[in-house]
Amino acid sequence: MSYQTGRMGIAEGIALVFIMLFPRIFLTAPANAVAASTTAAWWVVIVSGLPIFLAIFAWAYILRQTPGDLFSVSEKLLGRAGAWLVTITGISVAFIDAALILRQFAENTLLTALPQLEFSFVVGWYAFIAALGAILGLEALARGTYLLLPMSIMGLILVLLLLAPYYDIYNLTPWRGYGYVPSLQSGIHRSGINIGGLILVIFSPAMQNIKTFKWASIFGVMLGTFIKAVSILVFIMVFGVATASEKTLPFFEMARLVYINRYFQRIEALFIILWVIVGVLGIALSLYVGTYLLTRLLKLPALQPLIPLSAYIVAQLAMLPPDIATVIRLDNFIVSNFFTLVLFIITLLLLAAAIVKAKKGRLPHVPSFDD
């Protein structure tokens, strides 16, 4: 079930953007950020979100001039060859992101909850459930995520507040980490981690108008960036830089420290269920995005028959790296290099094409899709 043209509201849009940014909070990304920027990691996360806001405004202009989804916009602005290149890049980003998240969540499930299960079995089940979610369609994913959103945020913030007895403000000094310039460079370099904030570009015809697209994207990125920044801030205060940079599962380690009373302990077991659900939704949405773009590229009548094959390919990609350490290094490298380059190059390329063609008067004005 997918949204009809002009039916997706701002709440569902925020949910889609947020779930694309949220899963890595439960993975090793916070520890990688601390290792890269030390005590400045929490505000470097905010810096890494700034290019996405600029990209959202750029895409609002592009979509105002050239309505459509990613493929049709690229075809109008760059021609058939350019549309193929942009769409194939988008498919690659979606499937690689799904594979990296799938592998890490599967490894974490084995590490924390089900150590006796076979690795390929866990990967297969994650891929199977994600495929079922993708088959249900974009509307089901958006509304399911929207219902999960308050519970997820409240649960995470509750854990951070219950850790107050462990806070050590001196762990945050010096505020500049390795220095302001290296920290700013690190933030820009890692801006690709937020590339999911542009997911509504792919489904822009389903949005009510450009204003809905723009504010749903902005609020979703703001919410995701704020949650990540606060989580890393608390993470550093609790563990310190040296210990925090070595944690494979930062949020799980923080949840293990929470002590309410002797009758109610080990609440991290409850949060395993939460991050499994979040992980499945994130994988399902990335899988849906990749399959949708593939369907548009090949001009197929329906995408549901391709989802099982796409899930199988993603599962096989997820099992290629030999161990979790390799996956973590690969994830950090791809996010910081490939995703960041895609974010800047495609946005700037299409923005330049839209500006040039608008000045030449080759693009008609469309009042119904204006803000």
DSSP string, 31-51: HHHHHHHGGGHHHHHHHHHHH
pLDDT band at 362 (very low <50, low <70, confident <90, very high): low
209 Cβ partners below 8 Å, 6+ apart? Answer: 6, 368, 369, 370, 371
What average pLDDT does the segment 130-140 reach? 92
For the cut 90, the answer to whether the pLDDT of residue 135 exceeds it is yes
Model pLDDT, residue 90? 95
- Tens of pLDDT, residues 45-93: 999 999 999 999 999 999 998 888 999 999 999 999 999 999 999 999 9
Biggest CA–CA distance in the chain, Å, is 72
pLDDT(363) > 60: no
What residues contact 344, with CB distance under 8 A and at least 6 apart? 51
pLDDT at 358: 84
The angle at the Cα of 140, spanning 135 to 145, to the nearest 5 degrees, equals 120
Other Cβ atoms closer than 10 A to 81: 10
Rounded mean pLDDT, 340-350: 95
Is pLDDT at 193 greater than 50 in this prediction? yes
One-letter amino acid for residue 35 of the chain: A
With a pLDDT cut of 70, the percent of the chain lying above it is 95
Inform me whether the pLDDT recorded for 368 exceeds 80. Answer: no
Evaluate if residue 223 carries a pLDDT over 60.
Answer: yes
Q: What is the mean pLDDT of residues 306-331?
A: 94
- Specify the higher pLDDT residue, 115 or 20: 20
The mean pLDDT value for 20-39 works out to: 91
pLDDT band at 266 (very low <50, low <70, confident <90, very high): confident
pLDDT tops 90 at residue 128: yes
Name the residue type at position 298.
L
Of the chain, the percentage scoring pLDDT greater than 90 comes to: 67
Residues 6+ apart with CB under 8 A from 180: none
What are the tokens at 215? 């504010």
The pLDDT of residue 370 is: 47
Map tokens 């890595």 to a residue: 24
Q: 5 falls in which pLDDT band (50, 70, 90)?
A: low
Judged against a pLDDT cut of 60, whether residue 4 lies above it is answered with: no
Alpha-helical (H) ranges within 195-339 are 199-202, 210-244, 250-257, 268-298, 307-318, 324-333
Alpha-carbon span 201 to 216, nearest angstrom: 11
DSSP for 274-296, please give it. HHHHHHHHHHHHHHHHHHHHHHH
Distance CA 267, CA 92 (A): 37
pLDDT band at residue 6 under the 50/70/90 scheme: low
pLDDT score of 2? 55
Residue ranges covered by each domain of the chain: 10-361
What is the sign of the dihedral through the CA atoms of 11, 12, 13 and 17? positive
Averaged pLDDT for residues 286-291: 95
Q: Is the pLDDT of residue 299 over 70?
A: yes
Percent helix / strand / coil, the chain, rounded to 5: 80, 0, 20
* Position with higher pLDDT, 175 vs 94: 94
HSE-CB of 314 using CA atoms within 13 angstroms: 39
Rounded CA-CA distance 149/216 in Å is 14
The yes/no answer on whether domain 10-361 falls in CATH 1.20.1740.10 is yes
More confident of the two residues 114 and 123: 123
| pLDDT value at 364 more than 80 | no
**pLDDT tens-digit series, residues 163-184:** 999 999 999 989 888 889 999 9
For residue 264, is pLDDT > 60?
yes
